[in-house]
Structure 1
Amino acid sequence: MASNLIKSCCYQGFKHHGEPKGSIFLVDDIEVYTSHPQDRSAEYGLLILTDIIGHRFINAQVIADQFADHGYFVMMPDLFNGDAVPLNKPGGFYMGKWRTGGYHPQGKNHLPETVDPIKIGAVGYCFGGKYVVRPLAPGRVDVAFTAHPSHIDEGELKDIQGPLAIAAAEYDKIFPAEKRRATEAILRETRFPYQVNLYSGVSHGFGVRGDPTNCEVRFAMRSTFFQAVEWFNHYMKQE
């Protein structure tokens, strides 16, 4: 694998302050958080695929709104059929049981066959990273960005057919140094544009669940966001 399986660090973090500007709609019984530029004139769209905290998490909604403020129409679907993991889930929660549908009322799992969506430009945080890499090919996803990705198979990474940018944490058991190096080697072989930025002093999940009162984390969060904006500006808006 190009990154390890999700663990407890994938649902631990800090809740941020903010007032969402977007709205939640139902699309074929799937909840989708959407956010528009203020003048509603976007010519480019982004699909944000969240970490396991889900699309109703204020941190994710504020990030979606920030992309909208930079000229993108943003859609952020519920990847989990109403079964997202609460932030800082207490003891007794088993990730494997959750992935295979053990906590869902209808037993719906959280595996590729139920999560793979169709997209355009896509952003994936942690869990969502796998699902921006898997469809990265013309006609599905044209450009992708992921922060602190989890559970990506090397074969999925080798199969990409478009530009991919990654924001990585210095302290990350899911995407550690050896996984980063393996990822870089694979990306070189694909011959598609890629970028891997490593942020010092931060841990897995910082891009969406970092502590905003910590100046080092706050810098990494902001830099990661603008890394993504510049990546999409370059590879989606330029001919």
Structure 2
Amino acid sequence: MAGAQCCSNPPTLDPNSGAGSVEQLGGLSTYISGSPNSKFAVLLVSDVFGYEAPNIRLVADKVAAAGFFVAVPDFLYGDPFLLNDNRPILDWLKDHGTDKGLEDAKLVVEALKSKGFSAIGAAGYCWGGKVVTELSKSTSIDAAVLLHPSLVTLDDIRGVNVPIEILAAEIDEITPPALVKQFQEILAARVHEVDSYVEIVPKVAHGWTVRYNADDEAAAKSANEARNKMLDWFFKYLK
């Protein structure tokens, strides 16, 4: 995850972006979008740039428009990675481990369950992909989606216990296609244990689903296609 791709094309953070609102959930400041009367919730776990990135909030709003209650917590406690603060990504990661992210995610899931949602899905981007993979080793969530994940190992995939979709990039030094193909082989061998779908999306790079320029029509189209595949997965396994 220490490669340049992890931090390429960083977003301009905006705490006021999105159509939703920021509330407390599971002890964390959380961007909320969608009706609390929905029966189905989706947890989005961001990359290292955090929950104020406009594109992940746009994803939340689009998923909410499809009938889900969506939560994007601030797992980074107001300290997202910034390229201009002279702090190397490896130093930043020491203070923002995915193990802590997992602990917090479990609390958020419990908070969602306490609100009465009958099914909960989780999607993770880059750093968040590791958190969601760890969540998927239990049955605390009902479906998982990993989008250009980082830090995920073969043993992690062997431990997955819920339906999982992996959308990976063809151009990815962090989780390269060769590793993703191994993920696919492991899941294919477990076809009678857990449903899965793995795709290496051609001509896109790590981060393509949330770190793109909205004025770039081709990039936006690829991101929208990934979001729709994620939505289809949640429709299939949550509703």
Q: Give the TM-score of the pair, scaled to structure 2.
A: 0.85
Q: Which moved more, 1:125-134 or 1:212-221?
A: 212-221
CA deviations over 1:65-111 (Å, ceiling 9, x no partner) = 1100010000111111221113xx1373311111112xxxxxxxx22
List runs of 5+ in structure 1 lacking aligned partners: 102-109
Secondary structure, counterpart of 1:187 in structure 2: helix
Question: Which one of the candidate residues 49, 68, 86 is aligned to 1:92?
Answer: 86
Inter-CA distance 111–91: structure 2 relative to 1 (3 Å threshold): closer
CA distance in 1 between partners of 2:94 and 2:181 (Å): 30
Q: Deviations over 1:144-185 (max 9, x none)?
A: 011100001221111011111111112111121211111111
Match of 2:40 in 1: 44
- The corresponding residue for 1:130 is 130
- Computed over aligned residues only, the root mean square deviation of the Cα atoms, in angstroms, reads 2.1
Distance 1:235 1:28 in 2: 24
Indicate if the aligned counterparts of 1:134 and 1:157 stay in contact, CA closer than 8 A: no
| 1:64 to 1:6, Cα distance in 2 relative to 1, 3 A | farther
Supply the AA of the counterpart residue of 1:45: A
Q: Is residue 2:7 matched to residue 1:11?
A: yes
Structure 1 residue 14: deviation in Å? 5.8
Counterpart-to-counterpart distance in 1, 2:17 and 2:93: 30
The one of the two structures with greater contact order (alpha-carbon pairs below 8 A, sep at least 6) is 1
Is the contact made by 2:98 and 2:127 (CA closer than 8 Å) also made in structure 1? Answer: no
Q: Is 1:213 matched up with 2:204?
A: no
Taking only the aligned residue pairs, the percentage that are identical comes to 25
Amino acid at match of 1:74: V
Structure 1 residue 53 displacement after superposition: 0.5
1:102-154 Cα offsets, whole Å, 9 max, x none, are xxxxxxxx223311122331010111001111121554121001110000122
1:85 is aligned with what amino acid? F
> Is the aligned partner of 1:111 residue 2:105?
no
SS in 1 for 2:60: helix
1:21 to 3, 19, 22: 19
- Call closer, same or farther: CA 1:90–1:14 in 2, change over 3 Å: closer
Instruction: Check whether the contact 2:99–2:131 (CA below 8 A) recurs between aligned residues.
Output: no
SS of 1:141's equivalent in the other structure is coil
188-197 or 74-83: which moved more? 188-197
Q: Cα deviation per residue 1:185-206 (whole Å; 9 max; x = unaligned)?
A: 1111232111112222211100
Query: What letter is aligned with 2:190?
Result: T
Partner of 1:225: 227
Report the 3-state secondary structure (helix = DSSP H, G, I; strand = E; otherwise coil) of the residue aligned with 2:145: strand
1:76 corresponding residue in structure 2? 72
> What is the SS of the residue equivalent to 2:19?
coil
Answer 1 or 2: which has greater helix percent.
2
Give the counterpart letter for 1:96 in structure 2. Answer: L
CA contact (8 A) 2:148 2:207 kept: yes
CA contact (8 A) 2:139 2:162 kept: no
Give the unaligned 5+ runs of structure 2. Answer: 110-119
* 8 Å Cα contact 1:6/1:150 also seen in 2: no
Whether contact under 8 Å (1:201, 1:216) holds in the other structure is no
Give 1:195's match in structure 2, choosing from 194, 197, 201.
197
Alpha-carbon separation, structure 1, partners of 2:189 and 2:137: 16
Q: Distance in 2 between matches of 1:8 and 1:143?
A: 30
- 1:62-73 equivalence runs, <5 A: 62-73=58-69
SS in 1 for 2:238: helix
Which residue does 1:105 correspond to in 2? none
**Cα distance in structure 2, aligned partners of 1:41 and 1:179:** 40
**SS state at 1:45 partner:** strand
SS at match of 1:113: helix
Give the partner amino acid of 1:153: T
Query: How many residue pairs align between the two structures?
Result: 221
